[in-house]
Amino acid sequence: MTFETRDCIDLPIHNLHPRPQLCRSRWQSLNGNWRFFFDHEERFSRPSDITNWPLTIEVPFAPECKRSGVADTGFHKVCWYEREFDWEPVPGERLLLHFGAADYAAKVWVNDRYMGLHEGGYTPFSFDVSSVLVGGRKQKVTVRVEDDPHDLAKPRGKQDWQLEPHSIWYPRTTGIWQTVWVEPVPDVYIDRVRWTPHLERWEIGFEAFLAGGTADDVHLRLKLTVGGQILAHDMYQTILGEVHRRIALSDPGIDDFRNELLWSPEKPTLMRAELQLWRQGQCIDQVHSYTALRSVSIQHGDFLLNGRPYYLRLILDQGYWPDSLMTAPDDEAFKRDIDLVKAMGFNGVRKHQKIEDPQFLFWADVKGLLVWEEMPSAYRFTHDGVERLCREWIDVIDRDFSHPCIVTWVPFNESWGVPDLSEKAAHRSCVQALYHLTKTLDPSRPVVGNDGWESTATDIIGIHDYDNRPEGLLERYGPALTVGDILSRRSPAGRLLTVEGYAPSNQPIMLTEFGGIAFAPKDRESSGLVKAWGYGVSNSLREFQKKYAALIATIHELKVFRGFCYTQLTDTFQEANGLLYADRTPKFAIADIASVTRGHPEERSEISLEEPQPQSQVLASAPH
């Protein structure tokens, strides 16, 4: 019994769809040129107030970036968008207007009729616009986005509040930055699905939620296949517009056969799902989805994937591009990044301070890349800030729950937004509350309550340590020290690794940020792509390679760690500490990076100083 991964999913449907886990064949992108302007004085409150549109912007690129055609990096609190699109209303059919993400608070009108407000810069939102469509095909959508650049109490991640990017913060992203699209659906339709693998029982949990009109006489048909082989083909009665079932799979018993069906970075087997709604003998709605059978858990100080200890080799991925900021420049960009990460010997990424586009998660599912998903931080602790953080984090988990690639949730990073974690009970309670909220919404994955230091509720103790001296790491985490010794010390940043009174209970320990070695040749520095800043600086390529090799070798030697996350994947604006330049060119031979990352430096007897290859050559020759 063997399964070909590429046959497990209908790539032509899923790989371009803005919502890859719930695809319909009919949908229309509204990306492209929109009318646009900045409303600095906040003069306008409705579309009819506006008589002049001085600018054009290319959606979904933010106005701060070059790809948008605006390239204005100043402070902008309010901006407006408008465009027409062709759509002829059809009796009995609804039209949904979807936004992948707009930062931060978006009001939407269609044909000058107000549809609603959405708050949250990283999560999707939709409106049923059927009732406001007009005849004659031409429909108009208008969007007002408010994004106060100085508001530090909203989840903003790495977006700078100063005019020019400083330290570890980057240019702002204002307004629409993910795909806008419309989708026709029937009067009753499949609104969302949720997949939960139960490896211990050899089952897949399935939930479907309907929307629209009355669904009392509607049935849902599910066909689950892998590699052309049918795993399940069932019909369910919907009850109160929902379906909740556990799909028992035929357990082949023998490990060789069982392993063929399991999802992992080494063999990312996906199951294709075809879902149909039936009423009175007619199929009224059909969507495509997918899932996978895999488990992640913590046991006896180990991170387990599919019930076996699994060593994590992660790299910090901030998800920025020089000319398009947080929006990928094209449909192939996510695939290229994932291919490069795997070619360099890593088995996962920690998506840092960004909720990534679903297309990235789709390709991570398909290609087999583990993902730690981390909530973008706010920087002030206020009642409003906590409320906004909780609301958006719930939306994040709801959106991404079914992706097999996601193996860890991270609601806080380095006490950002809870700066007095050690001193104030309210800050500790906030982290503990988000930890338990996350475990309530998703008990199937580990949660890192606060990555970096000051752990107070967590399944994994993550340590951030940017000491570039191997001897310094050996001194703090070497075999002469017990776990108690390590956790009772302060980190190099001066923070306690665990909050006083918190007693860890055999959680795995991982070095979840380290390295940060900057290297930028003078020609790249002078071109304006980067400025050579990092947590450590190398003055030559040879020095950079040697430092990377020495640090990774030391980490592999430190058996207290059950995984690591190196900083970082690419140079990102003023931070020149990537293994890749900002344009994704490797800084040195990718085979050398891979052998060091995997812990097999003997595979390359000498450090090579060959010229970096173009991406196409790198990926064609890279080990997989």
The separation between CA 197 and the C-alpha centre of its own chain, rounded to angstroms, equals: 20
CA gap 294, 313 in Å, rounded: 19
Which is nearest to 36 in space by CA: 55, 51, 50? Answer: 55
Q: Which residue in this structure is represented by tokens 């104030």?
A: 424
DSSP 200: G
State how beta strands 105-110 and 138-146 pair.
Answer: antiparallel
pLDDT of residue 515: 96
In the predicted structure, residue 4 carries a pLDDT above the cut 80: no
Give me the sheet containing 282-291, strands edge to edge.
229-237, 218-226, 271-279, 282-291
What pLDDT was estimated at residue 492? 82
Distance in angstroms (rounded) separating the CA atoms of residues 340 and 345: 9
Per the CB < 8 A criterion, the answer to whether 357 and 334 are in contact is: yes
Task: Encode pLDDT of 521-559 as tens digits.
Answer: 876 654 454 457 888 889 899 999 999 999 999 999 999
* Other residues' Cβ atoms within 10 Å of the Cβ of residue 142: 23
Q: What is the pLDDT of residue 9?
A: 54
In angstroms, rounded to a whole number, what is the distance separating the alpha carbons of residues 512 and 563?
8
CA angle at residue 588 from 586 to 593, to 5 degrees? 90
* DSSP per-residue codes, 355-376: ---HHHHHHHHHHT-EEEEEPP
Residue 331's pLDDT is what?
87
Average pLDDT for 228-245: 94
The answer to whether the peptide bond before residue 615 is cis (omega within 30 degrees of 0) is: no
Residue 277: the pLDDT is 97
Phi/psi of residue 434, nearest 5 degrees: -65, -35
The tally of CA atoms less than 13 A away on the side-chain side of residue 451 is 27
What is the reported pLDDT for 616? Answer: 46
Task: Evaluate whether 462 touches 413 at the Cβ level (below 8 Å).
Answer: no
Nearest to 169 by CA among 348, 382, 416, 453: 416
How confident is residue 78, by pLDDT bands cut at 50, 70 and 90?
very high
Distance from chain centroid for Cα 71: 25
When pLDDT is cut at 50, 70 and 90, the band that residue 3 belongs to is: very low
Q: What SS3 class is residue 329?
A: coil
Residue 609 pLDDT > 60: no
What was the pLDDT predicted at 10? 54
Q: What is the pLDDT of residues 291-319, one digit of tens each?
A: 999 999 999 999 999 999 999 999 999 99
Instruction: Select from 415, 505, 429, 422 the least CA-distant residue to 464.
Output: 415
Among 207, 211, 215, which residue's Cα sits nearest to residue 275?
A: 207
Q: Which two tokens stand for residue 256?
A: 């060789």
What are the chain's domains? 32-177 (2.60.120.260), 186-291 (2.60.40.10), 311-621 (3.20.20.80)
Query: Which positions ≥6 away from 469 have C-beta within 8 Å?
Result: none
211's tokens: 């929307």
Closest CA to 169 of 195, 183, 149, 191: 149
* CA distance to 46, 518, 553, 615, per residue, from 343 (Å): 50, 21, 18, 11
Write the pLDDT tens digit of every residue in 332-355: 999 999 999 999 999 999 999 999
491 secondary structure, DSSP code: P
Percent of the chain surpassing pLDDT 90: 84
- The DSSP bridge partners found for residue 220 are 236, 277
d(CA 143, CA 544): 47
Integer Cα distance of 399 and 364 in angstroms: 15
Distance (Å, rounded) from C-alpha 165 to C-alpha 159? 8
pLDDT at 602 over 70: no
In this structure, are residues 619 and 339 in contact, taking their beta carbons and an 8 Å threshold? Answer: yes
pLDDT tier for residue 259 given thresholds of 50, 70 and 90:
confident
If you ran DSSP here, which 8-state letter would residue 5 be given?
G
Q: In the beta sheet, which residues pair with residue 370?
A: 348
End-to-end CA distance of the chain: 23
H/E stretch holding 12 reads helix 11-14
Give the integer Cα–Cα distance in Å for 29 and 162.
34
Query: Could you report the per-residue pLDDT of 563-596, keeping only the tens digit for each?
Result: 999 999 999 999 999 999 999 999 999 999 999 9
Provide the mean pLDDT of the chain: 91
Return the pLDDT at 8.
Answer: 44
Q: What is the pTM of this model?
A: 0.93
Distance between CA atoms of 337 and 342, rounded to whole angstroms? 9
What confidence tens digit (pLDDT) does each residue in 115-150 have?
A: 999 999 999 999 999 999 998 789 999 999 999 999
CA atoms within 13 A on the CB side of 300: 5
Phi then psi dihedrals of residue 260, to 5 deg: -65, -30
Q: Are 522 and 531 in contact (CB under 8 A)?
A: no
462: left (phi over 0), alpha (psi -120 to 50) or beta: beta
Q: What is the dihedral of CA 512, 513, 514, 515, to 10 degrees?
A: 130
Strands 28-29 and 406-410: unpaired
